Chains A and B, each alone.
Chain A
Amino acid sequence: MSDVVLKVKSLKVYYSTLHGNVKAVDDVDFEIVRKEVLGIAGESGCGKSTLGNALILLKPPMRYHGGEAIMDEKNLMTLPKKEMRKVRYRKISIIPQYAMDALNPTKKIREIMQDLLKEHGENLEKKLDIVDERLQIVNLPKAVLNMYPVELSGGMKQRVVMVISTLLNPDLLIADEITSALDVSSQKAVVQMLHRMKEERIVGSIAFVTHDLAVLYQIAQRIMIMYAGKVAEISPTEKIVNQPLHPYTKMLMASLPKMGVRYNEIKLKGISGYPPNLLNIGPGCRFMGRCPFAFELCTKDPPLFDIDGRKVACWIYRSEGDEI
């Protein structure tokens, strides 16, 4: 058995609109290995959430335009609906961004769990002990099983969804912006809960999608930075934070506030300009317009260069022998 849980190769997922395709995920390559937390970070509209959601359920206006996402030697993108149903929750699962709205309001939490288990040929009654254990991990009383979603607060609902999503011990869990709407103290708690779920082998690997690099720094072993539908850089967390390669990562890290840095003494700089419109976008590095290092080569799509096991999509890192 290989160590790679999910291998994504030149995946393209576009949104079809009246005016053409919005290339939200365009030629994306990465892999997630066993027991790893991979952070997927980027600005809004960079395709990180589209990527996470497309792996679970491709629904219009999202459209698959090529490439593959291999899990257990099967391409999730082309798997028939019926088979994908079996894979979902058991192999790959998601905690959606709006977890609060993901629960059917007419059913008790117990019934929602029962439905899910039944679909996968299991029974809630036999699993009650496990459910109980997991509710403890997310700090919820057993009584929530007999409650309707409306009886729970937003934070509680999110934690219920955490339990439901991981009920079948998925090999890969996608956590989509689960800390974004929370206060700092709850952010920490949710990250701790995920960590514990991984430690107790409830989930195998985690793809943690967020725009908040500071949160990723706490839990991720590697971070993939996305920009405008493409991968900019994939590196170990420490490297991303301390020795970023891609100009975008560099500028992003420099713009984050730090202890001891105050406006009156040191002025931080953001990245001027805005991401390009992804509608019918042509070739060329998509960061070119905002990049201080841009040069002639940047009008061509940069490939993912391999630098000491790190991946970076920037022409600066081409080596002598590279064909251009």
Chain B
Amino acid sequence: MSLIEVKNLTKEFPLGFLGRIKLKAVDNVSFELDESKLISVIGESGSGKTTIGKLILRLLKPTGGQIIFNGKDIKSFKPKDYYRNVQGIFQDPYSSFNPVYKIDRIFELVFDEFMPQLHRNQRQKEIEEILISVGMNPSQILGKYPHQLSGGQLQRILIARTLLLKPKVLIADEIISMLDASTRVDILGFLGELKQKGMSVIFITHDLSFGYYISDETIILYKGSIMEMGDTIKVFHNPMHPYTRMLLESVPSIEKKWDLEKFFVPEIVHKEISGCKFYERCSEATDECKRQVPQLVEIEENHRVACIKSDVSVRTEWKNFESSRKSDSVG
């Protein structure tokens, strides 16, 4: 049985006068998270990735669908029982700390809410042990205010907070996007360590390269829907959806250069169509794509794609691109 099961999850936000227009931030999303797995949810802004994280953390209520934890709907848990098992870390380390308090408070809150009987000295000891385990010197950290520390340090403290609670699931929402390059992989490494200790992690990111580096499985989101999902190696080395391929082609990397001459159109006026959401940006779209909503289809073991054109011809095309790119980076 999987630890978390997301079933047909939908979230709409009211827009416009009296909320008459609805924005579907998450549209019929289903996936499962097994124990001791790290899954990355990748998407651009507006893909609904953060909303999914908030829904799982019960910070938002779903419009439709269900989230199951340990076989039960998450609605049926008492808040404390749920948050003992499912925790989160957010994007902006500075905003995650209340500026008026010293950083110690983040630990005190956890003790107050989850382990109120623990004695003061015992608390102090645990905090220090946990800070050391994330590579920090407690005497340099405790008693400081958030603005006196760097983003990387604050994010480490939040990882330490998670360690204190030892949840089963961690939602890590863009936790490295505001950090400096030199500290990113180290913070990401902690997620890997947590996974090896048996925790399951949902790593929400817009950065494909870090998703590739750390995760076992990958979900590619576009406008609230899953375009492609499955084993990370399969999704990255054998991308079947045109959107995934477009993302992979445009992700900046020190291993390949963009073709700066080949111009492409980024922003298209949004129109509501009944078919594939990627239709208006897709270079391979046909009329059929406009009419038919593609379903997620398993094309190989643990690799699913929502594109009606995910056939053999596309696959060979990409293989050619990949091999040409390899020869580029060699030369």
Instruction: State the A residues within 8 Å of B (CB).
Output: 43-44, 139, 153, 155-156, 183-189, 191-192, 195-196, 211-215, 217-219, 241, 251-253, 255-259, 261-264, 267-272, 274-275
Contact = CB atoms under 8 A, between A and B. Distances in A.
B213 A268 contact: yes
B184 A255 contact: yes
Interface string B213-239: 110100000000000000011001000
B247 A214 contact: no
30 contacts: A139-B266, A156-B267, A183-B45, A184-B250, A184-B252, A185-B247, A187-B250, A188-B252, A188-B258, A192-B264, A196-B263, A211-B180, A212-B181, A218-B252, A218-B260, A241-B254, A252-B181, A252-B182, A255-B181, A255-B182, A256-B181, A258-B209, A258-B253, A258-B254, A259-B236, A259-B255, A261-B213, A264-B216, A270-B184, A274-B153
Given A185-B247, A259-B212, A191 B258 contact: yes
Interface stretch (B16-24, B27-35, B185-193): B185-193
A184 B252 CA distance: 7
Given A184-B251, A212-B252, A261-B213, A271 B258 contact: no
A122 B188 CA distance: 53
A217 B150 contact: no
Contacts of A262: 212-214, 232-233
Contacts of A187: 250, 252
A43 B260 contact: no
Contacts, number: 130
Contacts of B187: 270
Nearest to A256: B254
Given A192-B260, A211-B180, A257 B266 contact: no
Given A186-B266, A274-B152, A44 B212 contact: no
Interface of B: 44-45, 135, 150-153, 180-189, 192, 206, 208-210, 212-214, 216, 232-233, 236, 246-247, 250-255, 257-258, 260, 263-267
B31 to A, nearest CB: 20
Contacts of A218: 252, 257-258, 260
Which A-B residue pairs are the 10 nearest by beta carbons? A214-B252, A183-B44, A270-B186, A43-B180, A271-B182, A189-B266, A188-B250, A257-B209, A268-B185, A257-B213
A271 to B, nearest CB: 4
A189 B180 CA distance: 24
Contacts of A189: 264-266
Contacts of A257: 185, 209-210, 212-213
A214 B254 contact: yes
B246 A185 contact: yes
B189 A263 contact: yes
A287 to B, nearest CB: 11
Nearest to B46: A183
Contacts of B182: 43, 251-252, 255, 270-271
